[in-house]
Chain A
Amino acid sequence: GNSVTQMEGPVTLSEEAFLTINCTYTATGYPSLFWYVQYPGEGLQLLLKATKADDKGSNKGFEATYRKETTSFHLEKGSVQVSDSAVYFCALSANNAGNMLTFGGGTRLMVKP
Chain B
Amino acid sequence: EAGVAQSPRYKIIEKRQSVAFWCNPISGHATLYWYQQILGQGPKLLIQFQNNGVVDDSQLPKDRFSAERLKGVDSTLKIQPAKLEDSAVYLCASSFRGQGSDEQYFGPGTRLTVT
Interface residues of A (CB under 8 A from B): 4, 31-32, 36, 42-46, 49, 51, 89, 91, 93-95, 97-106
Q: Does B1 contact A (CB under 8 A)?
A: no
Contact partner of A99 (CB less than 8 A), chosen from B40, B44, B102, B108, is: B102
User: Does any Cβ of A come within 8 Å of B104's Cβ?
Assistant: yes
Q: Which residues of chain A have C-beta atoms less than 8 A from B105's C-beta?
A: 46
B106 and A100 form a contact (CB under 8 A): no
- CB neighbours (8 Å) of A46 from chain B are 103-105
- A105's partner among B42, B98, B101, B107 (CB-CB below 8 A) is B42
- Considering only residues 59-77 of chain B, those with a C-beta below 8 Å from chain A are none
Q: How many Å lie between the Cα of A44 and that of B98 in the bound state? A: 18
**What's the minimum C-beta distance from B90 to chain A, rounded to whole angstroms?**
12
CB-based nearest A residue for B55: A98
Query: Chain B residues with Cβ under 8 A from A105's Cβ?
Result: 40-42
The A interface, classified by DSSP as helix, strand, loop or mixed, is strand
Of B33, B100, B103, B108, the residue contacting A94 (CB under 8 A) is: B100
User: What is the CA–CA distance of A93 and B56 in the complex, to the nearest angstrom?
Assistant: 14
CB <8 Å contact, A100 and B42: no
Question: Could you tell me which B residues sit within 8 Å of A by CB distance?
Answer: 31, 33, 35, 40-45, 48, 55-56, 91, 93, 95, 98-109
Contact present for A32 and B100 (CB under 8 Å): yes
Candidates A4, A42, A51; contact of B101 at CB < 8 Å = A51
Contact (Cβ within 8 A) B42 A43:
no
Chain A nearest CB, measured from B107 CB (Å):
6
A43 B108 Cβ-Cβ under 8 A: yes
A residues less than 8 Å from B108 (CB atoms)? 42-43
What is the bound-complex CA distance between A31 and B40, given in angstroms?
25
Q: With A101-B43, A101-B104 as given contacts, are A43 and B109 in contact (CB-CB < 8 Å)?
A: yes
**What residues of B have a CB within 8 angstroms of the CB of A93 in the complex?**
100-102
Q: How far is the CA of A43 from the CA of B23 in the complex (A)?
A: 14
Compute how far the CA of A10 lies from the CA of B44 in the bound complex, rounded to whole angstroms: 21
